[in-house]
């Protein structure tokens, strides 16, 4: 059985090896790539808190010369936390679930003080900024990278399984592939994608970040 991993390079490290150990043939087919934009980080300069919702945002800020030292940092998940710490930052807050909603709830539960900076991608959902502003915080958002689709190789046969790890990957997936393969959505935000784009709702199973759920059909033949 073949499974296509559609996440960008550097994400979900170790997953390919685990799937191959289960007897699956793994295809690496990134459906999206990110590109740092020539953004001005000045609006974030006096923000005590910087909240990151992706590893791509961390990389973009570093490429733009942003310094993490001396700031309170929040991360949407363990991978983003690791990227911040490897860059010399001190992570004060990690969302228990890898969603913007979870990061907002975790932040508000601590009731910290100070302006909040959000380095984001061009497709970031507004939920995090909205929740914080509704709670009375001054929030400054800067788009530091953009997400671009990567074409599916037309000559490649459709694999039995396709793992999608972001809404952007869902939208980049060709409709023909989405209707033939069994879709696995990683996380609740991605899991809503196949329904939004018109794929059959029953074609997808939701997988957890630490592994696949009981209903997820990843079993070697």
pLDDT, average across residues 112-125 = 94
**Residue 4 per-residue DSSP state:** E
Whole-number CA gyration radius for the chain: 18
Instruction: Please state, in angstroms and rounded to a whole number, the distance separating the CA atoms of residues 51 and 28.
Output: 30
> pTM value?
0.76
Pair 66, 47: CB distance under 8 Å: no
Residue (of 33, 56, 55) closest to 169 by Cα position = 33
> Structural domain boundaries of the chain?
2-31+151-207, 34-147
Residue 177 scores a pLDDT above 50: yes
Share of the chain above pLDDT 90, in %: 51
Long-range contacts of 189-195 (CB under 8 A, 24+ apart): 189/99, 189/100, 189/125, 190/164, 190/165, 190/166, 192/167, 193/164, 193/167, 193/169, 194/164, 194/170
The confidence score (pLDDT) of residue 108 equals 97
Instruction: Please state, in angstroms and rounded to a whole number, the distance separating the CA atoms of residues 25 and 92.
Output: 39
Identical fold at 2-31+151-207 and 34-147? yes
pLDDT-wise least confident of 98-102, 112-116, 158-162, 189-193: 189-193
The confidence score (pLDDT) of residue 190 equals 65
- φ, ψ for residue 69, nearest 5 deg: -65, 140
The confidence score (pLDDT) of residue 220 equals 38
Residue 205: which residues within 8 A CB-CB, separation 6 or more?
Answer: 182, 183, 184, 185, 212, 213, 215, 216, 217
The confidence score (pLDDT) of residue 215 equals 36
Residue 214 scores a pLDDT above 50: no
DSSP per residue, 5-61: E-SPTTSSTTHHHHHHHTTPEEEE---EEEEE-----GGGTT-SEEEES-HHHHHHH
pLDDT, average across residues 22-48 = 93
The confidence score (pLDDT) of residue 167 equals 80
Fold of 34-147: Rossmann fold (3.40.50)
Joined together, the tokens standing for residue 92 give 């004060």
**Residue 203 per-residue DSSP state:** G
The second-level CATH assignment, the architecture, of 2-31+151-207 is: 3-Layer(aba) Sandwich (3.40)
The confidence score (pLDDT) of residue 9 equals 63
Higher pLDDT residue, 118 or 191? 118
% helix / strand / coil in the chain, to the nearest 5? 30, 25, 45
Joined together, the tokens standing for residue 20 give 């191959």
Share of the chain above pLDDT 70, in %: 81
- pLDDT tens digits for range 10-24: 566 678 888 889 999
Residue (of 70, 56, 205) closest to 144 by Cα position = 56
pLDDT, average across residues 169-193 = 79
């Amino acid at each position: 059985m073949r499974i296509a991993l559609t996440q960008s390079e550097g994400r979900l490290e170790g997953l390919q090896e685990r799937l191959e150990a289960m007897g699956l043939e793994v295809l690496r087919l990134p459906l999206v790539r990110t590109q740092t934009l020539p953004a001005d980080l000045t609006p974030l300069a006096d923000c005590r808190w910087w909240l990151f919702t992706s590893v791509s945002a961390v990389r973009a800020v570093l490429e733009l010369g942003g310094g993490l030292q001396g700031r309170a940092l929040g991360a949407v998940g363990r991978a983003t936390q690791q990227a911040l710490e490897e860059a010399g930052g001190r992570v004060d807050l990690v969302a228990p679930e890898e969603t913007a909603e979870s990061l907002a709830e975790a932040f508000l539960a601590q009731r910290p003080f100070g302006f909040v900076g959000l380095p984001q991608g061009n497709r970031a959902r507004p939920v995090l900024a909205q929740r914080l502003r509704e709670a009375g915080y001054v929030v400054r958002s800067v788009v530091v990278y953009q997400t671009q689709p990567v074409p599916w190789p037309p000559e490649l046969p459709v694999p039995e399984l396709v793992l999608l790890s972001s809404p952007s990957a869902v939208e980049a997936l060709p409709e023909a592939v989405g209707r033939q393969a069994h879709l696995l959505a990683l996380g609740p935000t991605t899991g809503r994608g196949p329904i939004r784009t018109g794929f059959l709702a029953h074609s997808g199973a939701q997988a957890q970040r630490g592994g696949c759920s009981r209903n997820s059909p990843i079993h070697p033949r």
